[in-house]
Structure 1
Amino acid sequence: MTARWATTGVFVVNGAAIGTWIAQIPWIQERFDLSKSAMGLVLVGMALAVILAFPVAGRAIVRHGSERIVWVGGTACALAVNVPVLAPHPVLVALGLAVLGISSATQDVAMNSHGVKVEKDLRRPIMSSLHAGWAFGGMIGAGFAAACAALGLDPRITVAVSSVLLVCLLVACARRIGRGSAAEGEGAPGFTLPSRGIVLLATLGLLVMVTEGAMADWGGLYLRQDLGTGAAIAALAYTFFTAGMTVGRLAGDRVNRRIGAVALLRGGALLTGIPLAAMLLIGQPAAALVGLFVVGLGVSNGVPLMFSAAGRQPDTPPGPGIASVSSMGSLGFLAGPPLIGFAADAISLPWALAMLILGAAVVFALARRATARTEPEPESPPRPELSARAA
């Protein structure tokens, strides 16, 4: 197994852990009889943990290198997914999500930093395909949970089995990811403020990830409560959404080479806003599942494009730039769902989800400006078949 595919496997582990948890959100809400706003408050635990964890994780990577932190964060994430589903009280669920959030954020920063190093060593773009691994993992994690729910298996047993499998996959992959970013020890530089270009990229990354997080956390609840589907169908919401993300990211590198980053980002914004509006207007389970798949296509390449642009800013080193975009993006992924929950109690869940269309419009409008101040992309290697394979 090469370092590229081993790193992809680490992305799969993180995605599967998140997918495993997300598939249990309807069960958690029904188990404790929580309102939408109360469920939103529970989810805040994970968002707050990520806000605190990202700067610490970034500093740890600079000091100890990405390879070691991949091990630490990945192991903790695979095990921590058990904590919120075992909690006997909603407050403890929130605390369990904080543990999961810290673990996932640590792994997230480490694996993206490591992926940038692998991409640089290969001298060809692979970021979209790495994130395809994450989406594939989310699809597998949620799909496994949906299958177990259909068989009537207790969700706590489902998560425990998933956790064991994730640890095994992590051990198999992390041993082969190769050397990552160099460890600078105690002499590593401190934090610096991001440039204006990085701030813009981070803002767009946040908008993309707000949509991704909202559709992930509330898609199943929309099917279950607003459209009246069963638990097994509701659990398929995240599977359909991540299936769209997986397809989009598998093709992302190739499409980027053909039409360019600006057109790809704008096309993604259109594929986010228009299908989302259509599925909310139609209000049928089949249309919702199709809509979730297409919205997944729309948001699939937003974050990889932001990472790529952040790594080519003329006035910011790649590491800090990518860390800033990753931090804001993950903050949006985790803070967006609680905000949607509060809005849903005030104006209904469909109208709350409709607000995400405005974010897609902003991404469409600012796509060119976000990529205007980047250095030229590195030339593709002389063998085109290798470039095609990387997509």
Structure 2
Amino acid sequence: MGVASWVVRIPAVREGLALSEGVLGLVLVGISVGALIAMPLSGALIARFGSRPVARAAMLGYAAALMLPPQATSRLLLTLALLVMGAASSFMNVALNTQATAVERRMRRPVMAGLHAMFSVGGLIGAGIGGVIAGAGVDPRWHLAGAGVLIAALSLLVTTALLRPGTDGAMGGPAFAVPTRPLLLLGAVAFCVLVGEGAVADWSAIYLRDIAGAGPGLAAAGFAAFSLMMAAGRFAGDALTVRFGPARLVRASAATAAAGVVLAIAWPTPWAAVAGFGAVGAGLSVVFPSLVAAAGRLPGVNPSMAIATISWIGYTGFLAGPPLIGFAAEAISLRGGIALVGITSLMIVALAGTLSRT
């Protein structure tokens, strides 16, 4: 909900500081830099203090950081505010995923995909409410301050139900360790899946407009279909994991994503491309939650450190995907660039067996 609240106010913050598109793009990198810096540290802190205290502190920190961007009076201050937001988000994600792995162990059934689906629900709620507030002309400082206060209050409430330190399986073990081969293989899969997610987020609308010939409204439908099918796939993911097992499910899902890419580039018409990107969303939906669950089960590795490691490797893929598509589009064509998402999906198919060994 917090992410969506910020995203819908980016245009207002940009206008307030008179930032060009290029400068805004550079400033927004602050979130990514903060996240990448914090991920390795998050695993160490969780191993020392437990996931519940770190989750609570990170959620409150994120709520406070959410209020900062519209207060910024320069591009430097905005960049620093976003860096803090990215770091807090990273601590929060690793801590909550560590909690989720412990809950799965206690319940003895998969729940990870459904929990990740709630991120999509929060995004839809935040975007819906934020759009109404922005449309009403409310100052972004008041909007994000109100969102921050709400998130802080909810954080204090919900974190009381989290597993206490010592019962979440996260404490103990070395703060830092050399990643094992199984962990690196899981990280490689995470890199591949987040290359696809980042690429579709940044390039689907451009592909629909420039290659498929869609109008502005329909061009946005590609990412909408991707997002909706990803949420649906995650809600169904836990039941499918029980029925087919994580390795078979990830293999079949990645193959579905690859087929979606083929549909989008082989028949570059608007609705075929929308359907193709929807299939990519459905196919990739269960992969990262399955990886988080598998990392948390690795023997001899602290769950928080394992989750932080694959998250860090995966996030580099999320950052690398869009520029890789851009370079490929310059060298070949945008259709060739989008084909990279199909290639990384096939790499997931090849590496899916890693999940059966955890």
Aligned to 2:91: 106
1:327-358: CA deviations, max 9, x gaps? 32234334544655676777776654443222
1:293-341: CA deviations, max 9, x gaps? 4332221111121122223334545443333223322343345446556
User: Under a length normalisation based on structure 1, what TM-score does the superposition of the two structures give?
Assistant: 0.75
Aligned to 1:373: 357
1:200-223: CA deviations, max 9, x gaps? 111101211222233335556767
Most deviating of 89-98 and 244-253? 89-98
Superposition deviation, residue 66 in structure 1: 0.8
Aligned to 1:34: 21
Most deviating of 335-344 and 250-259? 335-344
Q: Which one-letter code corresponds to 1:361 in the other structure? A: L
Contact 2:43 2:307 (C-alpha < 8 Å) held by counterparts: no
Aligned to 1:282: 268
Most deviating of 304-313 and 87-96? 87-96
* Rounded Cα–Cα distance in structure 2 between residues aligned with 1:88 and 1:221: 32
Aligned to 2:41: 56
SS of the residue corresponding to residue 46 of structure 2 reads helix
Q: 2:197 aligns with which of 181, 192, 212?
A: 212
Superposition deviation, residue 193 in structure 1: 0.6
Most deviating of 253-262 and 238-247? 238-247
Equivalent residues in 2 for 1:252-331 (5 A)?
252-279=237-264, 282=268, 284=270, 290-314=275-299, 316-331=301-316
Gaps of 5+ in 2: none
* Rounded Cα–Cα distance in structure 1 between residues aligned with 2:99 and 2:192: 24
SS of the residue corresponding to residue 140 of structure 1 reads helix
Contact 2:49 2:165 (C-alpha < 8 Å) held by counterparts: no
Most deviating of 186-195 and 322-331? 186-195
* Rounded Cα–Cα distance in structure 1 between residues aligned with 2:136 and 2:205: 18
* Rounded Cα–Cα distance in structure 1 between residues aligned with 2:142 and 2:332: 36
* Rounded Cα–Cα distance in structure 2 between residues aligned with 1:350 and 1:300: 23
User: Under a length normalisation based on structure 2, what TM-score does the superposition of the two structures give?
Assistant: 0.81
Q: 1:121 aligns with which of 103, 106, 109?
A: 106
Identity of aligned residues (%): 37
Superposition deviation, residue 71 in structure 1: 0.8
Q: 2:348 aligns with which of 356, 363, 375?
A: 363
Residues 319 and 99 of structure 1: is their aligned pair in 2 closer, same or farther, counting only changes over 3 Å? Answer: closer
Aligned to 2:126: 141
1:23-78: CA deviations, max 9, x gaps? 4567777863314xx55533432222222101111111111111111111111223
Contact 2:113 2:234 (C-alpha < 8 Å) held by counterparts: yes
1:168-189: CA deviations, max 9, x gaps? 3323311222314569999862
Equivalent residues in 2 for 1:48-197 (5 A)?
48-148=33-133, 158-181=143-166, 189-197=174-182
Residues 102 and 207 of structure 1: is their aligned pair in 2 closer, same or farther, counting only changes over 3 Å? Answer: same
Q: Which one-letter code corresponds to 1:200 in the other structure? A: L
RMSD: 3.7
Q: Which one-letter code corresponds to 1:355 in the other structure? A: L
Aligned length: 353
SS of the residue corresponding to residue 193 of structure 1 reads coil
* Rounded Cα–Cα distance in structure 2 between residues aligned with 1:20 and 1:222: 26
* Rounded Cα–Cα distance in structure 1 between residues aligned with 2:203 and 2:13: 13
Residues 101 and 338 of structure 1: is their aligned pair in 2 closer, same or farther, counting only changes over 3 Å? Answer: farther
* Rounded Cα–Cα distance in structure 2 between residues aligned with 1:234 and 1:169: 36
Superposition deviation, residue 119 in structure 1: 1.9
SS of the residue corresponding to residue 21 of structure 2 reads coil
Residues 288 and 181 of structure 1: is their aligned pair in 2 closer, same or farther, counting only changes over 3 Å? Answer: farther
SS of the residue corresponding to residue 53 of structure 1 reads helix
Aligned to 2:216: 229
Residues 131 and 82 of structure 1: is their aligned pair in 2 closer, same or farther, counting only changes over 3 Å? Answer: same
Contact 1:57 1:105 (C-alpha < 8 Å) held by counterparts: yes
